[in-house]
Structure 1
Amino acid sequence: MEVHRCRFVDYIPSAINALAFAPNTTRPVMACGRANGDIEVWNPKNDWTLEKIIPGGKNTSVETLAWAHQTTLTEEDDFWDSEKEKQVAIKKLVKASPRLFSAGLNAVVTEWDLATLKPKRSVDSHGGAVWCMATNHANTILAVGCEDGCVRLFDIADGELTFIRSFDKQKTRILSLAWSEDDITMVTGSANSSIYKWDVELGRVVSRMTVDRVSGEDTLVWSVKILAGGNIVSGDSLGHVKFWDGTTSTMIQSFNSHGADVLCLAVGRDGNTVFSSGVDRKCNQYRLVDQPAPKKSGKNGKNGTINGKTEMITKWIVAGSRRFHSHDVRALALDESRNVDALVSGGVDVSMVVCPAAQFPDINQRRIPHVPQRPVVSISKSKRLMLCRQTHGVKVWRLGKSASPTQSFSEFEIGAHMDLIEPQQAILEMNFKDDHNLTASALSEDGHWIAVADIEEVKLFRVDENPSQPGQFVVKKQKSFPGVRGTGAHSLTFTPDSTRLVVASTDSHVVIMDIAQWEAGNFDILRRFGHHRGAGGKEDESMDVDGDEDVVGGKGQIETIISMTVSADGQWLATGDLKNRIFVFNLDTLQHHATLPTFDAPLTALHFHPYSPTLAVPTASNVFYLFNVETRRLTDWSREYSSDKHFPTKFLGLKDKIQGIAFNPARKNTLLVWGANYICNVDLDQGVGDRNAILNVGKRKRVDRAQDQIRKQQQERRMKKYAALGIAPMPELETGNAVVVLQGKKGRKVLTTTTKALQQEEKEEEHNFQLLHKFQPLMFVDFVGDNSLVVVELPFIKILSSLPPSYYRASYGT
């Protein structure tokens, strides 16, 4: 097989600035804010699944995030006519989705619509850049710390986002803040070496705590938290982690456990555990433990004993330390609930690291792959073109060509390099001046159309080669292209004949647009489907799977469309959303055709087989399903094997989710399943094989060689044993039965033996799922022709080369 290993794609992920878990009163979910303004929403279920990406924009770096989930009523008891009506209102609050807020250096506090991924409400901070933000424990008030040294409160109760009032102004910016458990007091960390304790009702400083200073320079208090018992913990720019008495505002303990700035803290729910990290990349854990009291001095002292018993005191200790990152750690998030139990960290090195909080630092961490969880690459197979989407632009390459092989691919050694007669070439780059980051892009099969979208609009461009200058391209924006009523898109794709554009809009409509009449400036909307908004999906249109019908839909069930694909013949369109609803549409008749059943695990992609109406649906549990959309049934192979009870355990245990499926046109009954760090070949003409088999091809070969060596050694030992017993070597021993005559003191003894007993060969196990870990983290995998595979890689060393130098502290002798 010919493999195009593409490492020339210019894609660099953005640094992580903020992490925040939603309150425990709602489902487990975590937000990750990046330096380019994007906010990723992750679900810890199924080993951390990315649900959606809220696009940022220019000058919208996310510095802080906050979730809110109100569960208490703000109205008085006499407001409700009956207790039943009150309980119904409380249940409605509990069932409501959590609200997500973000802020940054653009001085705007934004609430996001988690269905359309658009801003829902925005208010000015009235104080410049926002450095920190937190909701009170009742989730009714949002506090923000501003550049002008003022803390401002916003009312977020009952879906509001309105300014309430400001605290007394300080002469320095507010870098961190935290609410007390009773929401009566607040603590803020400032850039003037001070920690202030505030009375929330009065908006005035109650007490002040001062951290260490060096050479008269101000120390920055980057992070501050209030523990469950009321005590305070702070992290500053000198690398100190300090614990303070919340009542007397005096320092209890101080740790100089970091070599540079402590940028973030995370505290446990019981107040007995604290995590810290920062510029030196070290993640420390502090625990509150009981220790013997120090010995008393004096002649009458009893060395720390009372009535013969050792006196005990509670103290903080450094319980463990790990380094997970290569550069500064800017954010920590902790969720100790039983379903999650995770300490999450992120920073400049763009990767998110998850480790079990309860077993820190003994258990190894898991690094979430730095490649995009949903592909940003699209290709034109016939023209051998590849497009990659950047934050504010797209770039197109023409793939290279290799010399014609002088022998079949089966005769080549694995990993052999083929001579290039044409190297890859960057032929087009487009950058946009829009304020919003791009959310979707697509390249048509004929290579003449490029579509891009953000959350506001969809743009269409015609690409033609300049006849007077071969190799030069002319790009024309189709100004008459109307888009989709002023809305943007979450996903785009062209039909294989390049005459239609399919748009998954931000309002969850699936729109079919005709672009065949582009020369006349006509771009008609052929059909608009609203099934992902809960509209449509009749019961008689559902797909029958094992005799069961399941229709998901209902009024108001609007959800983000995350995946979309068109069949190779252009007849079928399949779309999927975050509610796990998958709809199939007939593009010939422009009608809804079928509704697939929902799965226990979220879907991660959708792909059609190039030669049959078979839809492949991989899920986050690493089980994939194959549906025949014409017969509206699972394929025979999928009916028998598509289950976590049948798939190989090694494959199900892969931490990286399936990100895509590719079909080789030369082998119609095989498919490639790929994730960030693996490619797996599956033969649909075979079963899944031994569930406990070794799937890694290289490891399996090493194990087979070792087993062969063991068998040879065992055979040699048996032959030596027979020789010692007087059994002469016979040619028949190697071919079949042999008669052995033993002459001993008790007379003659005749034995019959077989070579099968002497050379017991283990039955060769059936292997189907063939795993390869040969490639660097994968961004995209697909075939452009028979036995011609395109693999887009993003080595971590490429990202490191683009990052600033990490913290280094010379030690003696180095």
Structure 2
Amino acid sequence: MEVHRCRFVDYIPSAINALSFAPNTTRPILACGRANGDIEVWNPKHEWTLEKVIPGGKNTSVEALAWAHQTILTEDEDFWDSEREKQAAIKKLIKTPPRLFSAGLNAVVTEWDLTTLKPKRSVDSHGGAVWCMATNHANTILAVGCEDGCVRLFDIADGELAFIRSFDKQKTRILSLAWSQDDKHMVTGSANSSIYKWDVEAGRVVSRMTVDRVSGEDTLVWSVKVLSNGVIVSGDSLGHVKFWDGSNTTMIQSFNAHGADVLCLAVGKDATSVFSAGVDRKCNQYRFVEQPAPKMTGKNGKNGKNGSVTGKTEMVTKWILTGSRRFHSHDVRALALDESRNVDALVSGGVDVTMVVCSAAQFLENNQRRLTYVPQRPVVSFSKSKRLLLCRQERGVKVWRLGKSAAAVLPFSEIEIGAHMDLIEPQQAMLEMTFKDDRNLTASALSEDGHWIAVADVEEIKLFRVDEHPSHPGKLMVRKQRSFPGVRGTGAHYLAFTPDSTRLVVASTDSNVVVVDISQWESGKFDILRRFGQHRGTDGKDLESMDVDEEDITGEHDQVETVILMSVSADGQWLATGDLKNRIFVFNLDTLQHHATLPVFDAPITALQFHPYSPTLVIPTASNVFYLFNIETRRLTDWSREFSSDKQFPTKFLGLKDKIQGIAFNPARKNTLLVWGANYICHVDLEQGVGDRNAILNVGKRKRVDRAQDQLRKQQRERRMKKYADLGIVPMPELESGNAVVVLEGKKARKVYAASTNSTEEEKTEDINFQLLHKFQPLMFVDFVEDNSLVVVELPFIKILSSLPPSYYRASYGT
């Protein structure tokens, strides 16, 4: 098989600046804020699944994140007519999804709509750049630390976001803050070597704690936390982690555990564990433990009062540094901790763009999990007929034309995996488009004929016509279709062209699926053929025009969900869409009607792909089980009903940490498919069963083993031939086949049977269907151009490292 390894795609993920778990009163989810303004929402279930990405924009680096989930009522007792009504209101409040807030150096505090992925509310910080942010334990007040030295409070109770008041102004910026357990006090870390304890009601400083200074320069207190027992923990730019008594603000202990700035802290709920990380890449764990009290001796050498005269050893409790680990190659900027039994995770992230998850309970013993840094949602589009590859970036797209290789001299089965083939035509960068909008792109698509490019953000959809320049052959000419109306002023989460390039399908930010006719573009006419509202819970009340009032299609609020997946069949007849509620709908594009609603699967869906040669939809899930659904019969296929189960699929395949991100079909082998994730490609034959659950074939390893066995057999045959020649055995042509019978000439005639080198020595291997290949990684895209010609887009980590600044290094003595 010919493989086009594409490493020329310019896609560099952004650094991680902030991490935050949602409160334990709601489902476990993690928000990850990046330097480009994007916010990722991860679900720890099913080995960490990415649910959605809230797009950022220019100069919107996320510096702080905070979740809020209110569970207490703010109304007076007299407001409720009965206790039953009050309890019903509390239950409704608990069922309400959590709210997500972000802030950064653009001086804006934003609450996000987690369905449309747009800003829901935004307020000015009134104090410049926001360095830190935290909600109180009641989740009713949001505190932000600003550049101008003020802490400002915002009311977030009952869905509000309104400014309340400011604390007394300090002469330096507020870098970190934390609430006390009773929400009556607050602790802030500043850029003037000080930690302040505040009275929240009065808005004034109660006491001040001072950290060490070097050469008269101010020390930056990057992080502060307050434990449930009132102990204050701080991390500063000298690499010190200090523990303070929260009542009298005196220092208890100090650790010089880091070689450079301590940028982040994470604390356990039981006040016995603390984690710190920073510029030196180390992640340290501190535990509050009991230890024997030190023996006190007098001048005469006898034991004092704390000695062991009575035979009992006195115990004291203190903080100790239990150990450290290095997960990252660069600065660690954020830590998040969830100690609940079903999560048990310490998550870290920083400049090296990768999130690392390890067990909090067994921090020093268990291996870490490195979440993939490649996009979990498609950013690459491909035109097979034109051999064009499009990659979406933050605020632009690039298009390349694939190269062509010389014809293979040997059959592909005899060529070593990874062997290079000579190019007769190299890849060529054809087009680069950069947009002036400040918003990051959320979707893009390239038509099969290569003449259309569509891009979208959360506010707008743009359509471009691409043709060959008439006077410059080989160059492309791009024209924006200014008469394209978009979809009623909304953006899109997903875009797709039909195979005949006459229609554009849009999954809008308001969760409508819209079909647009682009065949009459020359006359400037773009008709909306149909608007489907199934993902809004409208129960099939399809909308035929863009003139329908939005209030008529609202539906139930809890039924509206973000559309994250879309696929169009190869014949252009079928359209499948999926959302975050795991609902999958199939539409007939010929009749423009809703065709089927698929059953809801237990695990989140990760991709949708139609089989190009049958009316079958392939549905991978986060459990690494994939299903095959026959669109015409509206039921699972026979193969899927028999084998699509976590009790049938190979155990090793189910245990792969990386989720299935896509499906590819080889036109030369129509009954097979390739499922691929970030670090693997797996070949599955749909004409065979699953086979032994405990067996899975590693293709690369098999090739190496086969070559080693062939070499061993060759050496054994050469040794036998030499031995027979030394003994005077008559050479026979059949000896080379391994089935020869040779006769020893001499006084004692006897027959010697040469050992067989083929069928008698071959190992009987059981037929294994799932064949894994780890040769190509990490993968962003996989698809076939033509028969036995595969395209893989890779993003090696070394390419990311080359774009990062130098990491921290301190020379040791003797090096």
TM-score relative to the length of structure 1: 0.91
Which residue is equivalent to 1:437?
A: 440
2:531 corresponds in structure 1 to 528
Paired position in structure 2 for 1:785: 786
Structure 1: how far apart are the matches of 2:706 and 2:533? 55
What secondary structure sits across from 1:310 in the alignment? Answer: coil
CA–CA distance in structure 1, aligned partners of residues 516 and 375 of structure 2: 28
Q: Is the 1:535–1:555 contact (alpha carbons within 8 Å) kept by the matching residues of 2?
A: no
Partner of 1:203: 203
Judged with a 3 Å threshold, the aligned counterparts in structure 2 of structure 1 residues 144 and 191 are, in CA distance, closer, same or farther, namely: same
> 1:191 matched to which residue of 2?
191
**Number of residue equivalences:** 763
CA distance in structure 2 between the aligned counterparts of 1:235 and 1:702, rounded to whole angstroms: 51
- Closer, same or farther: CA 702–521 of 1 in aligned 2, 3 Å: closer
Q: Which residue is 1:749 aligned to?
A: none
Q: Partner of 2:451 in structure 1?
A: 448
Alignment match, 1:775 = 776
Matched, 1:651 2:650: no
For residue 584 of structure 1, report the CA deviation from its aligned partner. 0.2
Partner of residue 582, structure 1: 584
CA distance in 2, matches of 1:329, 1:651: 32
Q: Partner of 2:498 in structure 1?
A: 495
Q: Does 1:105 align with 2:108?
A: no
Partner of 1:328: 331
Give the Cα–Cα distance (whole angstroms) in 1 for the partners of residues 528 and 374 of structure 2.
35
Cα distance in 2, alignment partners of residues 337 and 658 from structure 1: 27
Shift of 1:763: 4.3
Q: CA deviation at 1:412?
A: 2.9
Q: Give the corresponding residue for 2:618.
A: 616
Q: Deviations over 1:227-277 (max 9, x none)?
A: 111010000000000000111100010000100000000000101000000
Specify the alignment match of 2:59 in structure 1: 59
- Tell me the CA shift for residue 417 of structure 1: 1.9
Q: Residue 799 of structure 1 aligns to a residue in which SS?
A: helix
Partners of 2:73 and 2:444 lie apart in 1 by 44
For 1:573, the equivalent position in structure 2 comes to 575
Letter in 2 for 1:203: G
Cα contact 1:342–1:354 (8 A) shared by 2: yes
Q: Residue 415 of structure 1: CA displacement?
A: 2.3
Cα offset, 1:376, TM superposition: 0.5
- Paired residues of 1:14 and 1:34 also in contact (CA < 8 A): yes
In the alignment, residue 793 of structure 1 is paired with which amino acid?
E
Cα distance in 2 for residues equivalent to 1:444 and 1:612:
22
> What corresponds to 1:676 in structure 2?
678
Between stretches 563-572 and 308-317, larger displacement belongs to 308-317
- Does the 8 Å contact 2:533/2:540 carry over to 1? no
**Greater alpha carbon shift after TM alignment, 562-571 vs 691-700:** 691-700
Contact 2:696/2:769, CA 8 A, preserved across alignment: no
Query: Within 1, Cα distance between the matches of 2:43 and 2:131?
Result: 26
Tell me how far apart the structure 2 counterparts of residues 563 and 428 of structure 1 sit (CA, whole Å). Answer: 27
Q: Quote the Cα distance in structure 2 between the aligned partners of 1:652 and 1:85.
A: 47
Cross-structure match for 2:304: 301
Query: In the alignment, which residue of structure 2 is the partner of 1:596?
Result: 598
Q: SS in structure 2 opposite 1:502?
A: strand
Q: Partner residue of 2:548?
A: none
Separation in 2, partners of 1:668, 1:262: 56
The correspondence of residues 330-479 of structure 1 with structure 2, limited to 5 A, is: 330-479=333-482
Larger deviation, residues 629-638 vs 89-98? 629-638
Q: 3-state DSSP class of the match of 2:798?
A: helix
Distance 1:516 1:556 in 2: 37
Amino acid aligned to 1:697: V
The equivalent residue for 2:85 is 85
- The Cα shift of 1:305 comes to 4.2
- Name the CA shift for 1:604/1:445 in 2 (closer, same or farther; >3 Å): same
1:537–1:595: 8 Å Cα contact kept in structure 2? Answer: no
User: Does structure 2 conserve the Cα–Cα contact (< 8 Å) formed by 1:694 and 1:700?
Assistant: no
Specify whether residues 797 and 760 from structure 1 end up closer, same or farther in structure 2 by C-alpha distance, changes over 3 A only: closer
1:407 CA drift (Å): 4.3
* 1:625, distance to aligned residue in structure 2 (A): 0.4
**1:624-663 alignment, distance < 5 Å:** 624-663=626-665
Name the structure 2 match of 1:153: 153
Contact kept? 2:653, 2:696, Cα under 8 Å = no
CA distance in 2 between counterparts of 1:47 and 1:36 reads 26
What is the deviation of 1:556? 4.0
Distance in 1 between the 2:156 and 2:297 partners?
57
Pairwise CA distance, 1:702: 6.0
The letter of the residue matching 1:535 is T
Structure-1 residue corresponding to 2:694:
692
In 2, the alpha carbon distance for the partners of 1:433 and 1:297 equals 75
For 2:802, what is the secondary structure of its paired residue? helix
Letter in 2 for 1:636: D
Alpha-carbon distance in structure 1 between the residues aligned to 2:136 and 2:776: 47
Instruction: Tell me the alpha carbon deviations over residues 600-651 of structure 1, each in whole angstroms, 9 at most, x when there is no partner.
Output: 1000010011111110000000000011101111111111100000000000
Distance 2:473 2:763 in 1: 63
Gaps of 5+ in 2: 542-554, 715-737, 740-755
1:803 shift after superposition: 0.2
Q: Per-residue deviation at 1:416?
A: 2.3
**Aligned partner of 2:478: which letter?**
V
Structure 1 residue 698 displacement after superposition? 3.2
1:805 aligns with 2:806: yes
Query: Structure 1 residue 506 and structure 2 residue 548: aligned?
Result: no
Corresponding residue of 1:765: 766
- How far apart, in 1, do the equivalents of 2:309 and 2:94 lie? 51
Q: Distance in 1 between matches of 2:309 and 2:43?
A: 52
Give, as a single letter, the amino acid of the residue that structure 2 aligns with 1:597: P
Counterpart of 2:730 in structure 1 is: none
Deviation at 1:303, TM superposition (A): 4.4
3-state DSSP of counterpart to 1:802:
coil
Shift of 1:420: 1.1
The offset of 1:697, in angstroms, is 2.1
What is residue 47 of structure 1 aligned with on the other side?
47
Q: Give the C-alpha shift of residue 18 in structure 1.
A: 0.1
Give secondary structure in 1 for the equivalent of 2:641: helix
- Name the aligned partner's letter for residue 660 of structure 1: G
- Give distance in 2, aligned partners of 1:420 and 1:786: 18
CA displacement, residues 280-302 of structure 1 (integer Å, 9 cap, x when unaligned): 00000000011111222436714
CA contact (8 A) 1:284 1:318 kept: yes
Partner of 2:795: 794
Give how far 1:421 is off.
Answer: 1.2
**CA RMSD, Structure 1 to Structure 2 (Å):** 2.2
Once the two structures are TM-superposed, the CA of residue 306 in structure 1 deviates from its matched residue by 7.5
Three-state SS of the structure 2 residue aligned to 1:51 is: strand
Which 5+ residue runs of structure 1 have no aligned equivalent? 539-552, 713-733, 736-754
Please say if residues 68 and 99 of structure 1, whose CA atoms lie closer than 8 Å, have aligned partners that are also in contact: yes
Rounded Cα–Cα distance in structure 2 between residues aligned with 1:292 and 1:706: 59
Note the 1:70-149 alignment, pairs <5 A: 70-149=70-149
For 2:351 and 2:773, locate their aligned partners in 1 and report how far apart those are by CA, in whole Å. 30
Asked whether the 8 Å contact 1:292–1:304 carries over to 2, the reply is no
SS in 1 for 2:94: helix
Indicate if the aligned counterparts of 2:338 and 2:345 stay in contact, CA closer than 8 A.
Answer: yes
Q: What SS is found at the alignment partner of 1:650?
A: helix
Distance (Å, rounded) in 2 between the aligned partners of 1:197 and 1:576: 49
Cα deviation, 1:481-530, whole Å, max 9, x if unaligned, reads: 00001100000000000000000000000000000000000000000000
Normalising by the residue count of structure 2, what TM-score does the alignment of the two structures yield?
0.91
Which amino acid is the alignment partner of residue 561 of structure 2?
Answer: E
Question: Following TM superposition, by how much is the alpha carbon of 1:419 offset from its aligned partner in structure 2, in angstroms?
Answer: 1.6
How far the C-alpha of 1:311 sits from its partner, in A, is 1.4
Which letter does structure 1 place at the counterpart of 2:800? I
Q: Offset of 1:323 from its aligned partner?
A: 0.2
Aligned to 2:799, the other structure's residue is in SS state helix
User: CA separation in 1, counterparts of 2:309 and 2:676?
Assistant: 66
Aligned partner of 2:217 in structure 1 is 217
State the alpha-carbon separation in 1 of the partners of residues 86 and 711 from structure 2. Answer: 76
Is 2:776–2:794's contact at 8 Å kept on the other side of the alignment? yes
Cα offset for 1:402?
1.2
Contact in 1 for aligned 2:696/2:770 (Cα 8 Å): no
User: 1: distance between equivalents of 2:307 and 2:324?
Assistant: 31
